[in-house]
Amino acid sequence: MKKYSDEELELINIQIGCTFRLERLKRGISQHDLSLDVNTDPTTIGRIERFEHGIRWEKIYQLSQYYNLNFCDLFIFKDNEYLLQIIKQCYQLETKLNQKKVKFYEQLLNDVKEKLIELKGQI
C-alpha cells in the first residue's frame, strides 16, 4: 500500500473539497440548499468545500452519493493538471464572486502550486 506524504494528503483534501464545490456550482445550488437536501448544516458543507480538518467520512460519503460520485475514487489523487483545472472551473462558475472569494481562489491556486513543487522535490 502506498504511503502518502503530508503534501499528498493535503492535495487530496483540496481535490475532494473542490470536486464537491464544482459539482454544486455546476448544478447552480447554494450551500444552504444543498445542506437541506443532504440533511446537514451549511457550515458543514462550507467546511468540506474548504477542505478543513475534522470532517467525518460519513458526510463525504453522503455527498458522494448525492452527486453520484464514486466514494473511493475521491481519495485517489488524480494529477496536478486535474486539480488545477477543477479549481479554475469552480472560479469560473462562481455567481457571487466578491473580493473575498477572488482572494480565496488566488491563495488556493498559489498554495496548490507550492505544494506541487514541494511534492515534486520529494520524488
70-104 pLDDT per residue, tens: 999 999 988 899 999 999 999 999 988 899 999 99
Q: Is residue 105 part of a domain?
A: yes
Determine the pLDDT at residue 8: 87
Q: Are 17 and 51 in contact (CB under 8 A)?
A: yes
Q: Is residue 1 part of a domain?
A: no
Domain hosting residue 54, numbered range: 6-122
Q: What Å distances lie between residue 65 and 23, 24, 42, 61, 70, CA to CA?
A: 12, 13, 18, 6, 8
Determine the pLDDT at residue 123: 56
Q: Is residue 60 part of a domain?
A: yes
- In this predicted structure, the answer to whether residue 45 has a pLDDT above a threshold of 70 is yes
> Please, is 24 exposed, middle or buried when counting C-beta atoms within 10 Å of its C-beta (0-12, 13-18, 19+)?
buried
21-30 pLDDT per residue, tens: 999 999 999 9
**What average pLDDT does this structure show over 46-66?**
89
* Residue closest to 77 by CA, chosen among 33, 112, 36: 112
Determine the pLDDT at residue 3: 80
Q: Are 116 and 80 in contact (CB under 8 A)?
A: yes
Determine the pLDDT at residue 67: 97
**What average pLDDT does this structure show over 41-67?**
90
Helix (H, G, I), strand (E, B), or coil: what is residue 72? helix
Mean pLDDT of the chain: 91
Q: Are 60 and 48 in contact (CB under 8 A)?
A: yes
Q: Is residue 71 part of a domain?
A: yes
Domain CATH number, residue 33: 1.10.260.40
Give the number of domains in the chain.
1
Q: Is residue 13 part of a domain?
A: yes
Q: Is residue 101 part of a domain?
A: yes
